[in-house]
Amino acid sequence: MQFNFDEVVDRRGTGSVKWETFSPDVLPLWVADTDFPVNPIILKRIQERLNHPVLGYTLVNHELILAVQNFLYTHYQWAVDEAAIVPMTGVVPGLNFSCRAFCKPGDGVLFQVPVYPPFYDAPRNNFLEAQTSSLYFDKENNSYKIDFDEFENSIKFNTRLFMLCNPHNPVGRVFTKDELSALADICIRHNLIICSDEIHSDIIFSGNHHIPIAALSPEISRRTVTLISPSKTFNIPGLNCSLAVIEDEKMRQQFVQAIKGLSNGANLLGQIASCSAYSECQDWYSQAKKYIEANRDFLEAYCDAALPGIHMTHMEATYLAWLDCSESGIPSVPQEFFLNQAKVGLNAGSTFGAGYERFVRLNIGTSRIILEEALDRMSESLKKL
């Protein structure tokens, strides 16, 4: 079946964070959900459940667990036991739960920057020290890389947990087997637990291949919590369902114990939608990925042709583009300039790390016509500088 990702759906009036935070004349390309209508089969499964009028407390949906297990094996050749899969409400809660489960107050939590802002919050929320290692920009390859010496030197006497973001938001990297192996070796050497946020693992562009870090070896898996969710890929983040995959039983017990009383598990309808997403949406998924990849190519070409001084980092994955505006001549912070002069809503680079004040993050998970209109507005605003 063919799905129409060009369709423009009016999301205003639905309580959408993305569409209802800015004034109605703004085109919002910020918060990380997409504007694509959900695959009708997912909606059908939810509606079928709603034929029953009672929405009480729910058990873990066993079909969801089997669907996750099968999806991980089919897509990443990662075979995990059913018992390893723990449903939760969200990946951000999973980052916070990992901090609680594996650290004691005063311990350090390391992550690579620039990064999705909740990575900074998770240690702070839990009275832990946020510790950063910097990804560096490799100009020749137009891509961010890891300096492994710098990474290892960022580990302090109190570092206990490494929170990895792979694929990486906002720099769009899919870390390679060699990179992941080197990171894991360092974590083993320093006895760090790894919490790997792999929420973007399914939106990977041609020529790249996602590897769950825990799938590299049993030794690595024994120290790793992997956080996944169909929410980004299948556009169901409002349904609050994600999964932690923890193969080591002792670690899993520690994690489950730490979240007692804080999480009631995943949402009833979210579990149904996630089960459907993982098990019966392959054609929708392939087409969505192709559409987003074409938007990536379109944006890359557009930047070169009509956004002078704006430099786009090459995206290997995700629907989040990372734009360096430092040579654009924009006199103020760029997200404010584009909001006020172009009526386009973007994420501020500063929220991803110090030193990124001249960057913006732009969400390409939308119909081409909206993307094009937003870029035309941005281009016109730059002409007036």
Residue 364 in the binding site for ligand PLP (CB under 6 A) = no
Residue 91 in the binding site for ligand PLP (CB under 6 A) = yes
Nearer to ligand PLP, 91 or 259 (CB): 91
Token pair belonging to 240: 């609050």
User: Of 152-211, which residues contact ligand PLP (CB under 6 A)?
Assistant: 165, 169, 197, 199
Residue 321 in the binding site for ligand PLP (CB under 6 A) = no
Name residue, tokens 């089919």. 74
Cβ 228 to ligand PLP shortest distance, Å: 9
Residue number of the CB atom closest to ligand PLP? 90
Asked if 359 and 334 touch (Cβ cutoff 8 Å), the reply is yes
Residue 229 in the binding site for ligand PLP (CB under 6 A) = yes
Cβ 144 to ligand PLP shortest distance, Å: 15
Nearer to ligand PLP, 237 or 353 (CB): 237
Contact flags string 241-280 toward ligand PLP, x per CB under 6 A:
-x--------------------------------------
Q: List the one residue out of 184, 144, 127 whose CA is nearest residue 353.
A: 144
Residue 220 in the binding site for ligand PLP (CB under 6 A) = no
Cβ 250 to ligand PLP shortest distance, Å: 25
> Out of 166, 231, 366, 367, which residue is the one contacting ligand PLP (CB under 6 A)?
231
Nearer to ligand PLP, 126 or 242 (CB): 242
Give residue 22's identity as a one-letter amino acid code: F
User: Under rule CB under 6 A, how many of the chain's residues touch ligand PLP?
Assistant: 13
Q: How far apart are CA 83 and CA 199, in angstroms?
A: 20
User: Of 31-60, which residues contact ligand PLP (CB under 6 A)?
Assistant: 32
3-state secondary structure the chain: CCCCCCCCCCCCCCCCHHHHCCCCCCEECCCCCCCCCCCHHHHHHHHHHHCCCCCCCCCCCHHHHHHHHHHHHHHHCCCCCHHHEEEECCHHHHHHHHHHHHCCCCCEEEEEECCCCHHHHHHHHCCCEEEEEECEEECCCCEEECCHHHHHHCCCCCEEEEEEECCCCCCCCCCCHHHHHHHHHHHHHCCCEEEEECCCCCCECCCCCCCCHHHHCHHHHCCEEEEECCCCCCCCHHHCCEEEECCCHHHHHHHHHHCCCCCCCCCHHHHHHHHHHHHHCHHHHHHHHHHHHHHHHHHHHHHHHHCCCCEECCCCECCEEEEECCCCCCCCCHHHHHHHHHCEECEEHHHHCCCCCCEEEEECCCCHHHHHHHHHHHHHHHHCC
Residue 237 in the binding site for ligand PLP (CB under 6 A) = yes
Nearer to ligand PLP, 212 or 337 (CB): 212
Nearer to ligand PLP, 112 or 367 (CB): 112
Name residue, tokens 């409400």. 89
Cβ 308 to ligand PLP shortest distance, Å: 29
User: Of 102-121, which residues contact ligand PLP (CB under 6 A)?
Assistant: 116
Cβ 237 to ligand PLP shortest distance, Å: 5
Contact flags string 328-357 toward ligand PLP, x per CB under 6 A:
------------------------------
Contact region for ligand PLP (CB under 6 A) — 50-58, 87-95, 139-147, 212-220? 87-95
Cβ 295 to ligand PLP shortest distance, Å: 17
Kindly list the residues in this chain that would bind ligand PLP in the complex (CB under 6 A). Answer: 32, 90-92, 116, 165, 169, 197, 199, 229, 231, 237, 242
